[in-house]
Structure 1
Amino acid sequence: MSDAVPCPRCHGQGVVLTAKIVRTQELIRICDECDAVWPPDADLDVRRFVDFGTYMERQGFPGLWDEIVEL
């Protein structure tokens, strides 16, 4: 994916991808290694991420990668 960048949270072990939550069609940016999540237009600041499981739980969904589609 062309907009994939190294993840600042896991020091580049993973890449941050753009994805869509299937049930809500909401766009997010998520690290494929550490599951850090940012809004699609946010700076990838290590102090401002939310863990994917926590993010999904707050919306009432399971924190499973089956719940998102990589764009």
Structure 2
Amino acid sequence: FHGKIGRVEAEEKLKPKENGLYLVRESNNYPGDYTLSICHDSKVEHYHIMYKDNQLTVDEYTYFDNLTKLVQ
């Protein structure tokens, strides 16, 4: 967990961009939510993790009790 860092700083921390390397950070665009930044195929994808009904979700289909379970 890297706190409140931006997209560019997250991408810098994920160099070299090895598949599966990731970090979780506070969302800059959605206060109270998180962002999962993950390396895949030499690029970094950013996924909005929403906090909804006391659970976390990326797709509003599957929900998790905490960040650790979501990332696993």
Tell me if TM exceeds 0.5. Answer: no
Higher relative CO (Cα under 8 Å, sequence separation at least 6) belongs to 1
TM-score (norm 2): 0.33
Q: Greater CA radius of gyration, 1 or 2?
A: 2
